[in-house]
Chains A and B, each alone.
Chain A
């Protein structure tokens, strides 16, 4: 659930700076060409499938230093660095990925791909349907978190990586982390779930549904085939505004906006944006529609709703029976969208299976979005966890066994 419009640029991450990933380019990997389409969890077949991805750092000769980063609802493959010298902002997790940063690109080979169903280079509802030559729109099959992960596995195979040293993701990215560790246990040495859940709560589904209804009731959405016409900007903007509220916290909003007025001395007794918070949300909504496809929002938010490891495997404890990775689970005190108790459910089920699990509840006033903001404790946690995982992987006699 990246709110990339808001991402602070670390001082040292200016293009060419010592701690910046520097210039990077998005690459593409296409597979599942007909007749070998991928059968999705919903039963429909999809192909060809393209994944847009970026890599940072060098893969070690032993191929044992690869770290996969999984993005959230509105993220993309561009996790760090810049695409061109004119870029105003770096990638969405630039504060965490780069030389000397927690995901240290001088030590680790970092990979990030855009999820299937997305609109940032990977196959999604705005991609051309080979059967018609026109964008899929609502003919795009429903994709799940499981499908996202299965396509990522194909990419990892393509890159010649047998076992990932680690993986990390926040929010929907954390859901993908859990799915990876369960689905491909032999291929994941360690996993980091940040502000995530093993199943989206009713509250989470509720907010997603309001967002979807905002989009689908926009007259411009029609039947979803708005490509080449005016897209449902108003609907998507409202979806984004609602989403944005859920990523923040009451305390942070009070601090950031309070009841301060925007460009006026007194309230106007009209329906223009009186308050700063209104103006801020309108800005967030407007800027989001310029870079995101409304149908991708529908599909990805639905994939989040469907995610439920407990239902799929009988219980969460049973789901994690197969896990071979060691785990880091992080939550944030003020996150009310993916609250700490949901991370603790993950911890409980991992511990019941004897999985080496570290849990850290980071005090923060910034709500769900904390994972995208500079946070020393998160940085230190990731740095320490990764360094120890790498040490253990390289000397398997080391510590950290299953109970």
Chain B
């Protein structure tokens, strides 16, 4: 995770706010890697959503339970396999895609149990990342990517361009694309692969 969820400020983060804005009132929502359940709890309280979470970290799962968010403590692919088709309106994968061992399977499962997927990830194509690799010849590190190559949980980093191509390959329709600068300011889509620190995609199966 780019920002461990437990360390999040209590105030709602902009990427959370934007994700929430993509979720309709009263929607059935599954949050993968839901951390301490803050996002789900807000969706439930504010938008009247029916929420479920999956979180592998024990301490974070305990915090979900403390908040009253139904959580499955365990692996997200296994946790999703327990749901029948289309049980959810929206399935959220917030800044966890890059840690998934099998991203295509995760996204296919998301769109099996839910009609729409909201996926946010750090953009490895940001100019500062490119510049660091070019200039230092070492794996880039930043506030968003604080790990060394040997201890990073981020095994599947991608760029905005990569993800768009992936969607085409998987026959996914990109319904919405939202970009944030590394300082959490919203930016336009022009040159997003250079400028965005974080990307939020809403996708669904083509024709769905």
Contact = CB atoms under 8 A, between A and B. Distances in A.
Interface of A: 326, 328, 344, 347-348, 351-352, 354, 356-363, 377, 380-381, 384-385, 387-388, 391-392, 398-403
Contacts of B70: 326, 356-358, 400
B68 A399 contact: yes
Contact of B71 (A358, A387, A403): A358
A220 to B, nearest CB: 48
Contact of B62 (A359, A377, A403): A377
A267 to B, nearest CB: 42
B62 A384 contact: yes
Contacts of A354: 87
Nearest to A355: B70
B12 interface: no
Nearest to A348: B82
Contacts of A358: 64-65, 70-72
Contacts of A328: 65
A363 B74 CA distance: 12
Secondary structure call for the A interface: mixed
A363 B61 CA distance: 13
Contacts of B151: none
A381 B65 contact: yes
A399 B51 contact: yes
Given A352-B82, A381-B65, A387-B68, 20 more contacts: A326-B70, A328-B65, A344-B78, A351-B87, A352-B84, A357-B70, A358-B64, A359-B71, A359-B74, A380-B65, A380-B66, A388-B68, A392-B68, A399-B41, A399-B68, A399-B69, A401-B50, A402-B50, A403-B28, A403-B88
Nearest to A391: B68
13 contacts: A347-B72, A351-B83, A351-B87, A360-B73, A361-B74, A362-B58, A363-B58, A380-B66, A387-B66, A399-B45, A399-B51, A399-B68, A400-B68
Contact of A359 (B41, B73, B88): B73
B85 to A, nearest CB: 10
For chain B, which range describes its interface: under 10, 10 to 19, 20 to 34, or 35 or more residues? Answer: 20 to 34
Interface in B23-64: 28, 41, 44-45, 50-52, 58, 61-62, 64
A21 to B, nearest CB: 24
A354 B84 CA distance: 9
A191 to B, nearest CB: 13
B24 to A, nearest CB: 15
A357 B84 CA distance: 14
A102 to B, nearest CB: 12
Contact of A347 (B62, B64, B82): B82
A399 B47 CA distance: 10
Contacts of B72: 347, 351, 357-359
A360 B51 contact: no
Contacts of A403: 28, 50, 52, 87-88
A362 B64 CA distance: 15
Contacts of A348: 81-82
A369 to B, nearest CB: 20
A391 B44 CA distance: 14
A326 B65 CA distance: 12
Contacts of A401: 50
